Amino acid sequence: MTALSRRAFLLGSMTLTPTFTTLRSAASTLRVVCLDYGLAQTLIEIGVPPVGLIDTPSWSDWAVEPPLPLGIANMGSAHEINMELLQLLKPDLILSTPYLEWVRPQLELIAPVKSFPIHALGTSPYPNIVAATLELGRLLGRSVEAEALVERTENELEAAKGQAQQLGKLAVMTFIDPRNIRFYGPGGNFQDVLDRLGLENAWTRPANEWGFSDAGMADLFEVGENWLFYMDPVPADVLTALPGSPLWQSMPFVQKGRARRMESVLMFGTLPSMTRLARLLVKATT
Amino acid sequence: MRRNALQPWLWIGVLWLAALGIAAINLWPSFTGLSLVSLISTPSPDNSRAILAHYSLLPRLVMAGVCGFALGLSGMLFQHVLRNPLASPSTLGVEAGAQLALGAAMLWFPAILGWNRDISTALGGFAVMGIVFAVGWKFKFSPVVVILTGMVTGLYCTAIVTLLTLMNDHYLAGLFIWGGGSLNQNDWRQLAALAPKIAGCTLLALILLKQLEVLTLGDAAQALGVRVQTIRASALFIAVALTAFTVSAVGIIGFLGLAAPAIARAVGARRIASRLVAASLAGAALLIIVDQLVQLYSTATGTALPTGAVTAVIGAPVLLLLMLRRNMPNAIAVQGRALIVATARPRSLLAGLALLLVTVALVAVFVGRGIDAGWASQTGDVLRSLLPWRVPRLVAAISAGVLLALSGSLLQRLTGNALASPEVLGVSAGTALGLLCMLFVVAQPTYGHRLIAGFSGAAMVLAVLFAVNRRSHAGNQFLLFGVSLGALLTALVSVILASGDPRALFLLSWMAGSTYGVTSTLAWISAVFAVVGVALAILLARPLQQFTLGDVSAHAHGVDIQRFRALILGLSALLTAIATLVVGPLSFVGLMAPHLAQRLGLPRGTAHILGSAMFGAVLMATADFVGRTIYFPWQLPTGLVATLLGGPVFAVLMIRSSSKSTQH
């Protein structure tokens, strides 16, 4: 019932059907500009890398996987997309997020716009990500590749499950500065991965609709003796402050040797981010 | 008499009782069962409750007290020395300077942060102080010049911080928390470092107490052989140091340095000695109250708010009410009546400005950069495809520049106050607040939603302005209202930004003055309003001129003051609302353009209005072109670039013309 209504919703939002039908037949030469890192991950995985992407220089810091192919134009920041450059690139399709709805009229002057609601819908993002992946595959004539990506992700997560079990309960967070931290919880991409791997989140406070909550260093006590992963990038002053901090040193998980630094994973990512997190967690057990 | 002298301390006592009461409610569940010894001495590693209390809750409580004390003292020193109840660490730009230094260090010299975070922030605070001092010294620390320099420098720093944030939003999340003033503590180390510095500054202030008392005499002090300048400079130095140390430890605690002295005055502390003590104690109690409430809220909801932003959210309206009730006996209007010589040939100056505007507009339309980022002057079909992206934003930018300049010009005439401008008046902030509310009601706002919300916000400010208008005739009331509202907006935005809410993306770019969401319809609507605005302003120029000579003179010339004032306020609020929807609330063109016109020799009448409008237009058109091309493919928001471009020009003109007038 819910699956049906979601499908109906996606179909209903396809107001530009005629254009897309013609797009599909010419998929091999399709020029897509992507205004979201998460969707770009999926595009690269299904073999239709975008011709333009926002903030390309930061990709290697935040998304990391999959590696960004060469020759993708930098569209500027998501706050203010370079419209002239967008016009000059002559894209066939622009992929956007609900947070850029307010410039949709302008974007539509250049090319058809498709926006994918994934986060903050009151559900966990995983089914939305899968739906978006399949929808992208269908739109771009890459349904086979999209289905393969979904299946590959399921298999990888399933395979990681066994080995990750020994972590038991764990929390994932990032340091904002030496005194403030951000935890990832229900409603976010990372929680989905934990659920898939049969792991329990040691951070039990409610998260906001995007799946994270801000806290102070003292709140780390709630993690107890469970594993704690703090994600890159870690501010320089945090790294120097931790060893000398009596509060940090007296945390049960630090005393048990269960605090680990972890490479960056895109928190608003799609399937490639989820497998990346699973892989990094498994790596931590060895 | 005796009861009067005691009254302030009764109120301060009540404030402290409230602070301790709230602290007790918040901390009791965590402290029960813990002995006093375990709270004070180093707890054993297996007692997690004692560790939490000893390393986090207790230092945070003390930190709130110390920071509140320092900011209260700092604010009172500023206000006493500058003889201006609007002076505070925020209005003098010290906090913004410190914040900019921290942002720069985060991006380019992260090693400094790893070594000592305080150093970079203190450097920034003292650098801004250096600028304000350098200008202030030249003008014998004239309150007007110091406040104006501080405000403009502060705005400038904030603009650069916003720009850095827009370009690097992933990295600077910490800057927002810091900008919002988080009092979280991990141990006593930070407090141990801060407390001696604050104590030292307090001691210096106490030593200066006698001389500060003499300052109250004003110019008569000079005759008594007191070196007024030296006293003022030392007191300002102490005040800045207090702010810089506090801010480098916990971030910007918005409004506290303005609110605490206001409370001290409101409860009836008269002499400077008692005012300094009352302001410090009030500041400490106030910050403890807010911080403990923030902790209670966080425990109840799981949402951590930055304390410094919350102080501003609470402090702004409270201060407003206080001021409205008391009718501000100490208010001194910031008069900007430097001797300015009118140019002999206003027509040729205006013609030159018009030529400049046309040139800039032509360049903005025909020049851009290609896919390979090389400079190019596009032609033919390519140009035709690019025009929809160049023309509307250019038209919108120019219109907004004209509208803001007109609004600023009207307000500066009306109030005779050099700092009156739509940005300071709070109409820009009102528009922004309307928009902010809308973001949480409508999930996917269209341009229509934003338009309605923005207008409602501006209209609400307008309504309150009129209510204030009926009660009192002092021009400063409007300014104070605007300053409070602006602080409220900044605080709300930093709360939202610190919460990491992705909706802030849109908010931030609009706040910075991005014109890229402007449709051609909106651009042309703004243009029509700009033309009508110029016509109306010219019609009003003559009666407005009477206002610069004072209310009495205006009345003598048959101007119905109340109605006329309301008309001017209404008009400038409307002009501001239209412009703000296009370029955001932070461009400060409304403050700068009328000054530029004045300093270059168009001090009054129709020529002044046309000149201001033209300066606004040129500034925004240049900003539009520069923002679009200078850092290609990145797009810099027009409003922000206008502030960055106009700031130095503004400063140079201020210094040059002022030194000319002192030579007379």
Tell me how far apart the alpha carbons of residues B59 and B378 are, in angstroms, rounded to a whole number: 62
Q: Are B171 and B106 in contact, with CB atoms under 8 Å apart?
A: yes
Yes or no, beta carbons of A98 and B634 under 8 Å apart: no
B316 or B658: which leads in pLDDT: B316
Task: Tell me what pLDDT residue A50 has.
Answer: 93
- Chain A residues closer than 8 Å to B443 by CB: 98
Give the mean pLDDT of B579-588: 79
Q: Is A218 at the interface with chain B, CB within 8 A?
A: yes
What are the DSSP E strand ranges found in chain A?
32-34, 52-53, 73-74, 93-96, 113-115, 169-177, 180-184, 200-201, 212-216, 227-231, 259-262
Token pair of B421, please? 């401008």
Per the prediction, chain B carries an average pLDDT of 78
Yes or no, beta carbons of B502 and A99 under 8 Å apart: yes
Q: Are A248 and B186 in contact, with CB atoms under 8 Å apart?
A: yes
Q: Is A117 at the interface with chain B, CB within 8 A?
A: no
Token pair of B222, please? 């000079």
Nearest to B19 by CA among B297, B322, B299, B287: B287
Whether residue B658 is predicted with pLDDT greater than 60 in this model: the reply is no
Q: How confident is the model at residue B602 (pLDDT cuts 50, 70, 90)?
A: confident
- Chain B residues closer than 8 Å to A98 by CB: 443-444
Yes or no, beta carbons of B187 and A246 under 8 Å apart: yes
Residue B303 Cα, gap to closest chain A Cα (Å): 7
Nearest to B361 by CA among B384, B390, B341: B390
Nearest by CB to A221, which of B48, B444, B499? B48
Whether residue B375 is predicted with pLDDT greater than 80 in this model: the reply is yes
Q: Is A11 at the interface with chain B, CB within 8 A?
A: no
Whether residue B418 is predicted with pLDDT greater than 90 in this model: the reply is no
B121 or A219: which leads in pLDDT: A219
Residue A66 Cα, gap to closest chain B Cα (Å): 19
Task: Tell me what pLDDT residue B462 has.
Answer: 66
Q: What Cα–Cα distance (Å) separates residue A65 from each residue in A62, A271, A275, B36, B43?
A: 9, 10, 10, 53, 45
Whether residue B555 is predicted with pLDDT greater than 80 in this model: the reply is no
Q: Is A58 at the interface with chain B, CB within 8 A?
A: yes
Q: How confident is the model at residue B554 (pLDDT cuts 50, 70, 90)?
A: low
Q: Are B619 and B593 in contact, with CB atoms under 8 Å apart?
A: yes
Taking the alpha carbons at both ends of chain A, their separation in whole angstroms is 42
Nearest to B22 by CA among B72, B79, B73, B61: B61
pLDDT tens per residue, range B457-493: 877 776 776 666 555 544 555 666 666 666 676 667 6
Nearest by CB to A83, which of B447, B508, B516? B516
DSSP structure class, residue B53: I
Residue of A nearest to B513 (CA): A80
Task: Tell me what pLDDT residue B494 has.
Answer: 65
Nearest by CB to B110, which of A88, A215, A236? A236
Lowest-confidence range among A34-38, A95-99, B1-5, B49-53? B1-5
Per the prediction, chain A carries an average pLDDT of 83
Give the mean pLDDT of B524-548: 86
Tell me how far apart the alpha carbons of residues B509 and B252 are, in angstroms, rounded to a whole number: 22
Tell me how far apart the alpha carbons of residues B495 and B162 are, in angstroms, rounded to a whole number: 15
Tell me how far apart the alpha carbons of residues B335 and A209 are, in angstroms, rounded to a whole number: 50
Yes or no, beta carbons of A217 and B186 under 8 Å apart: yes
Placement of tokens 């972590």 in the chain? A167
User: What percentage of chain B exceeds 70 in pLDDT?
Assistant: 73
pLDDT tens per residue, range B623-637: 999 988 988 888 888
Tell me how far apart the alpha carbons of residues B129 and B97 are, in angstroms, rounded to a whole number: 9
Most confident of A30-34, A60-64, A102-106: A30-34
Yes or no, beta carbons of A235 and B110 under 8 Å apart: yes
Q: How confident is the model at residue A4 (pLDDT cuts 50, 70, 90)?
A: very low
Task: Tell me what pLDDT residue B361 has.
Answer: 93
Nearest to A80 by CA among B523, B634, B161: B634
- Chain B residues closer than 8 Å to A79 by CB: 166, 169, 505-506, 508-509, 512, 514
Give the mean pLDDT of B76-89: 81
Yes or no, beta carbons of A245 and B186 under 8 Å apart: yes
Tell me how far apart the alpha carbons of residues A64 and A61 are, in angstroms, rounded to a whole number: 6
Yes or no, beta carbons of B187 and A213 under 8 Å apart: no
pLDDT tens per residue, range B103-114: 788 777 766 665
Residue of A nearest to B386 (CA): A84
- Chain B residues closer than 8 Å to A182 by CB: 173, 500
pTM > 0.80: no
Query: Which of B391, B516, B631, B636 to mutate: most A Cβ within 10 Å?
Result: B516
B46 or A218: which leads in pLDDT: A218
Task: Tell me what pLDDT residue B458 has.
Answer: 73
B36 Cβ neighbours under 8 A, 6+ residues apart: none
Q: Is A274 at the interface with chain B, CB within 8 A?
A: no
Q: Is A24 at the interface with chain B, CB within 8 A?
A: no
pLDDT tens per residue, range B317-366: 666 665 565 444 333 444 444 445 666 778 888 999 999 999 999 999 88
Residue B448 Cα, gap to closest chain A Cα (Å): 10
Q: Is A204 at the interface with chain B, CB within 8 A?
A: no
Query: Which of B38, B115, B182, B184 to mutate: most A Cβ within 10 Å?
Result: B184
Nearest by CB to A77, which of B55, B166, B389? B166
| Parallel/antiparallel/unpaired status of strands A32-34 and A52-53 | parallel
Residue A223 Cα, gap to closest chain B Cα (Å): 12
Q: Are B80 and B212 in contact, with CB atoms under 8 Å apart?
A: yes
What are the DSSP E strand ranges found in B343-405?
367-369, 375-377
Yes or no, beta carbons of B178 and A177 under 8 Å apart: yes
Q: Are B540 and B465 in contact, with CB atoms under 8 Å apart?
A: no
Task: Tell me what pLDDT residue A5 has.
Answer: 40
Query: Which of B46, B187, B582 to mutate: most A Cβ within 10 Å?
Result: B187
- Chain A residues closer than 8 Å to B444 by CB: 98, 101-102
Length, in residues, of chain A = 286
Tell me how far apart the alpha carbons of residues B396 and B578 are, in angstroms, rounded to a whole number: 10
Is the ipTM of this structure higher than 0.90? no
Yes or no, beta carbons of A182 and B500 under 8 Å apart: yes
B329 Cβ neighbours under 8 A, 6+ residues apart: none
Yes or no, beta carbons of A235 and B174 under 8 Å apart: yes
Yes or no, beta carbons of B371 and A205 under 8 Å apart: no
Whether residue A51 is predicted with pLDDT greater than 90 in this model: the reply is yes
Q: Is A76 at the interface with chain B, CB within 8 A?
A: yes
Q: Is A108 at the interface with chain B, CB within 8 A?
A: no
Nearest by CB to B114, which of A216, A217, A239? A239
Task: Tell me what pLDDT residue A15 has.
Answer: 40
Nearest by CB to B499, which of A102, A208, A248? A208
Burial label for A144, CB within 10 Å (0-12, 13-18, 19+), is exposed
Query: DSSP labels for B622-656?
Result: HHHHHHHHTTTTS---HHHHHHHHHHHHHHHHHHH
Give the mean pLDDT of A161-190: 86
Query: Which of B48, B58, B113, B168 to mutate: most A Cβ within 10 Å?
Result: B113
B216 or A37: which leads in pLDDT: A37
Nearest by CB to B174, which of A177, A239, A248? A177
B317: how many CB neighbours lie within 10 A of its CB? 12
Tell me how far apart the alpha carbons of residues B233 and B140 are, in angstroms, rounded to a whole number: 10
Nearest to B436 by CA among B484, B508, B372: B508
Phi/psi at B334 (5° precision)? -80, 95
Task: Tell me what pLDDT residue A230 has.
Answer: 92
H-helix or E-strand spanning residue B399:
helix B380-415
Give the mean pLDDT of B386-397: 91
Cβ-Cβ pairs closer than 8 A, A with B, add up to 176
Q: Is A176 at the interface with chain B, CB within 8 A?
A: yes
Give the mean pLDDT of A149-156: 94
Give the mean pLDDT of B129-146: 71
Q: How confident is the model at residue B198 (pLDDT cuts 50, 70, 90)?
A: very high
Q: Is A99 at the interface with chain B, CB within 8 A?
A: yes
Yes or no, beta carbons of A235 and B113 under 8 Å apart: yes
- Chain A residues closer than 8 Å to B519 by CB: 105-106
Tell me how far apart the alpha carbons of residues B584 and B577 are, in angstroms, rounded to a whole number: 9
Tell me how far apart the alpha carbons of residues B436 and B245 are, in angstroms, rounded to a whole number: 32
Nearest by CB to B637, which of A80, A210, A221? A80
Q: How confident is the model at residue A106 (pLDDT cuts 50, 70, 90)?
A: confident
Task: Tell me what pLDDT residue B612 has.
Answer: 92
Whether residue A95 is predicted with pLDDT greater than 90 in this model: the reply is yes
DSSP structure class, residue B224: T
Residue B116 Cα, gap to closest chain A Cα (Å): 8
Give the mean pLDDT of B508-513: 72
- Chain A residues closer than 8 Å to B386 by CB: 84, 87-88
- Chain A residues closer than 8 Å to B385 by CB: 87-88
Give the mean pLDDT of A11-19: 41
Helices and strands in chain B, H and E counts = 29, 2
Give the mean pLDDT of A117-124: 79
Tell me how far apart the alpha carbons of residues B507 and A65 are, in angstroms, rounded to a whole number: 29
Task: Tell me what pLDDT residue B328 has.
Answer: 44
Whether residue A9 is predicted with pLDDT greater than 70 in this model: the reply is no
Token pair of B288, please? 């403890």
Q: What is the residue type of A128? A: N
Task: Tell me what pLDDT residue A273 has.
Answer: 93
Whether residue A269 is predicted with pLDDT greater than 70 in this model: the reply is yes
Yes or no, beta carbons of A58 and B170 under 8 Å apart: yes
Whether residue B121 is predicted with pLDDT greater than 80 in this model: the reply is no
